Chains A and B, each alone.
Chain A
Amino acid sequence: MTSLDKNQIQTLIGLVTTTQPDQLNCDDCFGQIAEFAEYALEDRELTEGMKIVQQHLSQCPCCKGEYEALLDAMQELTA
């Protein structure tokens, strides 16, 4: 029997309660993430297609981690 600590319980509760339908898988997301990053970096209003990417990122910690790393890299280029 494995116990979850307080942080893990909060994470699990967060994962469950924020779950929404997701139209993308991780490969689909990867195919659009460069375009999505430019929307964010240029502070442009998201199209419906980009909102779908945003929804995947909000539910996939793996893709979100890569997206944040991409933003760090792109911001370094403009620094």
Chain B
Amino acid sequence: MSTVNQDNWVDRLKSDDDVRDRAIQELRAILLRGLTATCRSRYGNKVSPEDVVQDALLKVLDKIDTFEGRSKFTTWAMTIAVRVAISEMRRKHFRDISMNDLLNDSMKFEVAADPSPEPGEEEQKTGILSTLQELIESKLTDKQKDAVHSLLNGMPVEVFAEKTGSNRNAVYKLVHDARVKLKQGFEQAGYQAEDIKALFA
């Protein structure tokens, strides 16, 4: 995708002379340009690209032996740089929010009915929301409720994992398993996903 020459990035970055220094400067400029677009309008612009580009560059150099050539080198490097930038943005954005603030004083959900202009539709929605409430209470563990609740408050799984001493893969699985339980619960209660989606669209 980049118009930059993709040849020999790995060799140049691993050489011992001026070639390496020039390659690092080139790569830094590329990452900075991309990160400028990434940092724009995300998480309240709390992170400047200049603040994260050096860390991103170091991570790219640290991982260079894992580059397998399945994409262009610059795309691969930008993937790492964007992860560094987004993680920092998320960390800063949620830094002052404690799990207690987010989860309030109870793990329970109160799903209020949504008034609808169509009387029949309102009844259907109320039934679905009531079922959802019951499923949350009966099928999900406390950890799953916390994770889902945090997600609904805009907290990325990455941040939830960090704040709870877990890891991203584990939290993603926790939430995914919760979603599967709720979907299966709906099906067992006689509701199909497509019908529910249509009703709440």
Binding site for B on A (CB under 8 A): 1-4, 6, 8-19, 22, 25-27, 30, 32-35, 37-38, 41-42, 59-62, 65-66, 69-70, 72-78
Complex CA gap A65/B172 in Å reads 14
Q: Are A4 and B109 in contact (CB under 8 A)?
A: yes
Within the complex, the shortest CB–CB distance from A75 to chain B, in Å, comes to: 7
**Does B52 sit within 8 A of A, measured CB to CB?**
no
Q: Chain B binding site: helix, strand, loop or mixed by DSSP?
A: helix
Contact partners of B33 in chain A: CB under 8 A: 73, 76-77
Number of interchain pairs (Cβ within 8 Å): 155
Q: Are B168 and A27 in contact (CB under 8 A)?
A: yes
Complex CA gap A20/B6 in Å reads 37
Q: Are B75 and A62 in contact (CB under 8 A)?
A: no
Within the complex, the shortest CB–CB distance from A60 to chain B, in Å, comes to: 6
Contact among B3, B148, B172 for A62, CB-based, below 8 A: B172
Choose among B1, B2, B35, B129 the residue with the greatest number of A CB atoms under 10 Å from its CB: B1
Q: Are A73 and B35 in contact (CB under 8 A)?
A: yes
Q: 1/0 contact trace for B25-42 toward A, CB 8 Å? A: 000001001111110101
Contact partners of A1 in chain B: CB under 8 A: 106, 108, 110
**Does B173 sit within 8 A of A, measured CB to CB?**
yes
Contact partners of A42 in chain B: CB under 8 A: 1
Contact partners of B86 in chain A: CB under 8 A: 65-66, 69
Complex CA gap A33/B137 in Å reads 36
